[in-house]
Amino acid sequence: MPESVTILDANAIQRALTRIAHEIAERNENSAEVVLVGIPAGGVPLAERLGKILSEIWKQPVPVGSLDVSMHRDDLDRRAAPKIYPTEIPFDVNGKTVVLVDDVLFSGRTIRAALDALNDFGRPKKIQLAVLIDRGHRELPIKADFVGKNVPTAPDEKIIVRENEVILERK
Amino acid sequence: MVWTKKHLLDIESLTAEEIVTVLDTARAFKAVGERAIKKVPALRGKTVVNLFVEPSTRTRISFELAEQRLSADIINFAADASSFKKGETLKDTAKNLEALNADFIVIRHSASGAPHFLSRVLNSHVINAGDGAHEHPTQALLDAFTIREHKEKISGLNVTILGDILYSRVARSNIWALTKLGAKVTLCGPSTLVPKTFEQMGCRVTYDVDEAIRDADIIHLLRIQHERQRKTMFPSINEYTQLFGLDKARLAKTKPDALIMHPGPINRGVEIDSEIADCDRSLILEQVTNGLAVRMAVLFLLNGGKGPQEIA
C-alpha cells in the first residue's frame, strides 16, 4: 500500500494561488500585457483560478488560454502516445508577457516543450513560469518564477494535484 | 485509452475504443492545420517511406503532407520508377528500404494482405494505404471523423453505401468502422457488385436505391472501379447512372439533413450529379481536409513507444 501525505489542503492551495497572483502583479507593472496559459491537464484549472484572482487585483479581465504540449515532447517514441488535450489561445501572444501555468514542476521537459509549442503562436515579449508545486529533480536548466510550494521528493514518489488538495504518495 | 498497436493494417482488428482514440487525436491535429504555423516536431528525425506500388494521387499526397506537417523525413517510392520492374520481390524492396533506417512504411498495393505480409517481415511500423479490394483503413477513419463532426455521434445513424461494393476496399473498411461504432449500414448497387455475402459483415443489402436512401443520414457514394473489373458487371455506364446515380430527383426523396460523401475521385454525371457534388450537403472536400488530420493522428499514435502514457 502506498503511503499518502496531504501537502496542501483547500485553504493552503487558495493562499498559495493568491500569493502567486500578487507576485505576478508585482513583477508585471503593465497589467494589459499579461496573459495566462495553462498546460493541460493540471495547469489549466490553476490558470483559470489565477486569472480570476489577478482580474480582481487589477480590476480588469486577464486573458487565459490552454496549450497542449504533447506534439512538442522529446520522449514521444519512449512512451505510449500521450492523450492530446485542446489548445485554446484566443488572443495574440505577440508582444505579451505570457505566464505559463502548470501544477507540478519536475524534470522541466514539459516546460521545454511548452516554450517550443508557444513559439508556434508568435513571439511573446516575455515568458514567465508559475507552478503550484516544485518537486525538484530538474533535467534541464529551467526555473520557475512563481512557486506555490517547494516539496523535496524522491524520484519514485508521486504528487497528485486535485482541486482541493495536493497529495504526496510514497511507494 | 493507451494506444498499443504497432501497425495500422486494417479496421477489422481495431476495437471501437481504438477507433474513437484515433478520431479524438485527429481533432487535435485538425486544429494544428488551422494555425498560422501548421507544422509540429512530433516525428522529427523519423523516416517514412511511402511505398506506392499501385498508383494513387490523393492518398499519397495526403500522407506526404501529413508526414511533412509532423516533421518526418520522407522517401517516395513509386511503382513505375522502382525495381519491381527489374524483378525484385516486395519483401526484398521493403527490406532494402528498412536498411535505410525507415521507421514507417506506408504501403499501397494491388494485392490484398501485402501490408500484413510486410508487418511480419519488417521491424518498421506499417500503415496500410489501401490493399487490393481488402481495406483502406485511413479512408474509413477520415469518413468516420467527418460524420462525427456533423452528426455528433455515429451510433444509431443510418449509413447507406451505394455503388461498387464488391471491388471496394473503402466499402469494406467503412463497414467495419461504422458497424463497430454502432451505425446501421445499408449496401446498395447492381446485384453483380453487391453480393448478399456482405450481410455476414453485419449490414443490410438491398437493390432498391430509393428505399436504400430514404431513411439514410449519410449517403456514401462509391466510384465504379473500371480498373478492378475483369469483365463488365453491368450493361452500361448510362444504365448505371439511370438506376443508381444520385441526381436531384432522387436526393429530393431523402431526409433533408442527409449528407453526401464520396472518397474521390468523383465521376461527375456517373454516380453523382455534378450540382449535387458541389451542394452544401456534400462533404466531399471536407473529407479531403480531414484525411490529413486523421493520417497525422495515425502516425502520431503508432510512433508511441512501449513506456507508460503518463510521465510527470
Asked if the structure places residue B244 within a domain, the reply is yes
DSSP of B275-291, one letter per residue? HHHTSTTB-HHHHHHHH
Closest B-chain CA to A160? B312
CA distance B303 to A81: 7
Q: What is the mean pLDDT of chain B?
A: 93
Cβ distance of A72 and B309 shorter than 8 Å:
no
Closest A-chain CA to B2? A80
Asked if the structure places residue B169 within a domain, the reply is yes
Q: At what angle do helices B90-98 and B114-121 cross, to 10 degrees?
A: 50
Q: Which contiguous run of DSSP H or E holds residue B60?
A: helix B58-69
What residues of B are in contact with residue A68 (Cβ under 8 Å)?
28
- The pLDDT, as a whole number, for residue B305 is 79
- The pLDDT, as a whole number, for residue B93 is 87
Share of chain A above pLDDT 90, in %: 95
Domain containing B177: what range?
A: 137-288
Q: Residue B94 pLDDT > 90, yes or no? A: no
- The pLDDT, as a whole number, for residue B47 is 97
Q: Residue A2 pLDDT > 90, yes or no? A: no
**Domain count within chain B:** 2
pLDDT tens digits along B154-164? 999 999 999 99
- The pLDDT, as a whole number, for residue B248 is 93
Quickly count: other Cβ atoms within 10 Å of residue B225's Cβ: 17
- The pLDDT, as a whole number, for residue A131 is 98
Same domain for B229 and B122: no
- Which cell numbers hold the place of A81? 502516445
Please compute the mean of the pLDDT values over residues B72-91 and round it to a whole number. Answer: 81
Q: Residue B228 pLDDT > 70, yes or no? A: no
Same domain for B98 and B146: no
Same domain for B213 and B146: yes
Same domain for B294 and B235: no
* Partner-chain residue, chosen from A81, A106, A120, that has the shortest CB–CB distance to B35: A120
* Partner-chain residue, chosen from B24, B31, B42, that has the shortest CB–CB distance to A76: B42
Cβ distance of A80 and B311 shorter than 8 Å:
no
Cβ distance of A104 and B41 shorter than 8 Å:
no
Q: Which amino acid is at B137?
A: P
Same domain for B128 and B41: yes
Q: Residue B312 pLDDT > 70, yes or no? A: no
Same domain for B252 and B145: yes
Please compute the mean of the pLDDT values over residues A127-147 and round it to a whole number. Answer: 97
pLDDT tens digits along A68-110? 999 999 999 889 999 999 999 999 999 999 999 999 999 999 9
- The pLDDT, as a whole number, for residue B98 is 87
pLDDT tens digits along B198-210? 999 999 999 999 9
Same domain for B105 and B61: yes
Asked if the structure places residue B293 within a domain, the reply is yes
Asked if the structure places residue B28 within a domain, the reply is yes
Q: What is the band of B86 on the pLDDT scale with cuts at 50, 70, 90?
A: confident
Q: Which amino acid is at B125?
A: H
- The pLDDT, as a whole number, for residue B107 is 96
Asked if the structure places residue B9 within a domain, the reply is no
Cβ distance of B305 and A77 shorter than 8 Å:
yes
Q: Residue B80 pLDDT > 80, yes or no? A: no
Asked if the structure places residue B308 within a domain, the reply is no
- The pLDDT, as a whole number, for residue B162 is 96
- The pLDDT, as a whole number, for residue B308 is 79
Q: What is the band of B244 on the pLDDT scale with cuts at 50, 70, 90?
A: very high
Domains and CATH numbers, chain A: 3-70+86-170 (3.40.50.2020)
Contact (CB, 8 A) for B126 and B107: yes
Q: Residue A148 pLDDT > 80, yes or no? A: yes
* Ranges of H-type helices in chain B: 16-32, 58-69, 90-98, 114-121, 137-151, 169-180, 209-214, 237-244, 248-252, 274-277, 284-303
Nearest CA of chain B to the CA of A60: how many Å? 28
More confident site: B82 or A169: A169
Closest A-chain CA to B46? A77
Q: Which of A71, A109, A137 to mutate to test the interface with B (most CBs of B within 10 A)?
A: A71
- The pLDDT, as a whole number, for residue A65 is 98
Same domain for B97 and B50: yes
Q: Residue B33 pLDDT > 60, yes or no? A: yes
Same domain for B150 and B194: yes
Q: What is the mean pLDDT of chain A?
A: 96
Same domain for B142 and B118: no
Same domain for B183 and B105: no
Cβ distance of A84 and B28 shorter than 8 Å:
yes
Same domain for B68 and B159: no
Q: Residue B230 pLDDT > 80, yes or no? A: no
Cβ distance of A80 and B307 shorter than 8 Å:
yes
CA distance A163 to A14: 10
- The pLDDT, as a whole number, for residue B311 is 60
Chain A stretch 8-67, residues whose beta carbon is closer than 8 A to a beta carbon of chain B = none
CA distance B215 to A55: 53
Any B CB within 8 A of A116 CB = yes
What CATH number is attached to the domain comprising B72? 3.40.50.1370
Asked if the structure places residue B250 within a domain, the reply is yes
Share of chain B above pLDDT 70, in %: 96
pLDDT tens digits along A36-60? 999 999 999 999 999 999 999 999 9
> Of the given ranges (B126-130, B149-153, B299-303), which has the lowest mean pLDDT?
B149-153
Please compute the mean of the pLDDT values over residues B169-175 and round it to a whole number. Answer: 97
CA distance B73 to B69: 10
- The pLDDT, as a whole number, for residue B102 is 94
Q: Residue A159 pLDDT > 90, yes or no? A: yes
- The pLDDT, as a whole number, for residue A167 is 95
Asked if the structure places residue B310 within a domain, the reply is no
Any A CB within 8 A of B28 CB = yes
